[in-house]
A = this chain, B = another copy of it.
Amino acid sequence: MTMIKQLAPQDEFVGFYLLRELTVKQTNGNPPKDYFDMVLGDSSGQLSAKFWDVSTADKETFFPMGLVKVRGLAHTYREKLQIKVSKMRLVNETDGVALTDFIRSAPIRPVDLVHTIKNVMASIKDPEIATIVAFCVDKVEEKLMHYPAAKTHHHAYFAGLAYHIVRMLEIGDFLCKQRPFLNPDLLKAGILLHDIAKPEEMISQLGIVSDYSVQGKLIGHISMASNWITEAAIRSNIALDSEKVLGLQHLVLSHHNLGEWGSPVQPQTAEAVALHHIDAMDAKLQMVEDALDTTPETDEWTPFIRGLENKAVYRLKI
Contacts and interface: CB of A to CB of B under 8 A. Distances in A.
Given A223-B264, A243-B316, A318-B183, A277 B281 contact: yes
A270 interface: yes
Given A269-B314, A314-B214, A250 B76 contact: no
A36 to B, nearest CB: 13
Nearest to A186: B318
A267 B308 contact: yes
Contacts of A215: 241, 246
Contact of A259 (B223, B235, B259): B259
A77 to B, nearest CB: 7
A260 interface: yes
A316 B247 contact: yes
B223 A249 contact: yes
Report copies per complex.
6
A206 interface: no
A126 B243 contact: no
Interface residues on A, range: 35 or more
A223 B266 contact: no
Contacts of A58: none
A71 interface: no
Contacts of A274: 281, 285
A316 B281 contact: no
Contact of A292 (B126, B174, B181): B181
Contacts of A219: 226, 246, 249-250, 253, 265
A143 interface: no
A109 interface: no
A244 interface: yes
Contacts of A312: 217, 268
A263 interface: yes
Residue among A247, A253, A273, A318 with max Cβ neighbours from chain B (10 Å): A318
Interface in A68-115: 75-77, 79, 84
Contacts of A246: 214-215, 218-219, 316
A204 interface: no
13 contacts: A30-B52, A32-B84, A129-B318, A183-B318, A186-B316, A227-B227, A258-B259, A266-B311, A268-B311, A270-B313, A273-B308, A273-B313, A280-B280
Interface of A: 23, 25-26, 28, 30, 32, 52, 75-77, 79, 84, 126, 129, 167, 170-171, 174-175, 178-179, 181, 183, 185-186, 214-215, 217-220, 222-223, 226-227, 230-231, 234-235, 240-241, 243-244, 246-247, 249-250, 253-254, 258-271, 273-274, 277-278, 280-281, 284-285, 288-289, 292, 300, 308-309, 311-314, 316-318
